[in-house]
A and B are shown apart, each in its own frame.
Chain A
């Protein structure tokens, strides 16, 4: 059987991690192509519903990444996001959804190497966990 290639969706902030991922590319560093990057103005904008929609759309794992604490372009978006993720992880775990599939990180615009490592590590971890069948089995009616 061929090796499982997980689908990873990365929600990143425009000011730090997106620029960091750009640096990874301009530095010609290679990393896993399993990741789809979605750019947001700020981690504070990343609603927990977006993560659920990613899973519903077939993602096996999710990355959320933005500016380090005290480095937010809007000064406090990442602090608010941090509180949200602390609570959201508590809820996911209680609902029986494996929180190892949701990876949170701070990657600055200067950390191109850290971005490559983050993606590679997440892909490897989700590869071990396997496809997110428990979630993908939750089928809708083919609408909405």
Chain B
């Protein structure tokens, strides 16, 4: 934590970056995002197990971009997010510093290739607990899954917190706001809730890096990350690619191979 504060102080004092986006202590002991522009305030930075939000979400906000070059405190999931954003041409090379804390030290990553190397050193696959969780749902019958999701989606209040929390849901104009035609009904009813959640998952297919912030942001406690994880698995099995691994990759659904495997089109 001290190493992180010192590094932030150093970067701000030298003018290398204009803002350090990190975690600070919020109300009730919770971690919250802080935007530090003054080196003297670097002491407000914290980094511990309570720091779970994917701060890359702020990189896409115009008001944050206006602050100037940023240094971002980056968890492993945030590093993957930055690679995916770079692959979508949203992060210019050299336009961002990443501060990756690990074991009392803090690594400063300026090059996307350095981020790729660090991500490659991480566990590439879902953890055992995550795999078992997904397998539990996949083992259900179709009717059980349908009932499960209808029960979950019935609690959705269409607040779009999942969208706001997601660093990859950055479209300036979302389909939800399109009303000619109205793709997603405005009121929170069963049909519209299903359509919204299908659309959210599909628009993140081949792009989601599994940070889990959608589920953490959901005030109704809907396990939205399961939908994304399922699609990560489908994309990996079918096309042998995974988002957030490279700053140069094409999105799985914006490219193709002439021999993509399928057995259902006759």
Residues from 116 to 143 in A contacting B, C-beta threshold 8 Å: 134, 137-141, 143
Asked if B258 contacts A85 (CB within 8 A), the reply is: no
Give the residue of A70, A79, A90, A96 whose beta carbon is less than 8 angstroms from that of B148. Answer: A96
Complex Cα distance A105/B239, Å? 20
Asked if B137 contacts A94 (CB within 8 A), the reply is: yes
Contacts of A52 in B (CB 8 A): 194-195, 198
Residues from 24 to 61 in A contacting B, C-beta threshold 8 Å: 48-49, 52, 56
Contacts of A98 in B (CB 8 A): 142
| Given A86-B260, A87-B234, A140-B185; A96-B145 close (CB under 8 Å) | yes
- The total of chain A residues at the interface (CB under 8 A) is 37
Residue of B nearest to A56 (CB): B191
Asked if A140 contacts B191 (CB within 8 A), the reply is: yes
| Given A48-B202, A80-B256, A91-B201; A140-B147 close (CB under 8 Å) | no
Asked if A49 contacts B190 (CB within 8 A), the reply is: no
| Given A82-B262, A144-B182; A138-B256 close (CB under 8 Å) | no
Contacts of B191 in A (CB 8 A): 56, 138-140
Give the residue of B142, B185, B202 whose beta carbon is less than 8 angstroms from that of A93. Answer: B142
Q: Tally inter-chain residue pairs, CB-CB below 8 A.
A: 121
Asked if A91 contacts B186 (CB within 8 A), the reply is: no
Contacts of B150 in A (CB 8 A): 96, 138
- The total of chain B residues at the interface (CB under 8 A) is 51
Asked if B266 contacts A139 (CB within 8 A), the reply is: no
Q: Is A106 in the interface zone, CB < 8 Å from B?
A: yes
| Given A70-B258, A96-B144; A91-B265 close (CB under 8 Å) | no
B147, B191, B199, B230 interface centre (most CB from chain A within 10 Å): B191
Contacts of A88 in B (CB 8 A): 202
Give the residue of A49, A85, A94, A141 whose beta carbon is less than 8 angstroms from that of B265. Answer: A85
> Contact residues of B with A, CB < 8 Å?
137-138, 142-150, 175, 182-183, 185-187, 189-192, 194-195, 198-199, 201-202, 205-206, 226-227, 230-231, 233-235, 238-239, 252-258, 260-262, 264-266
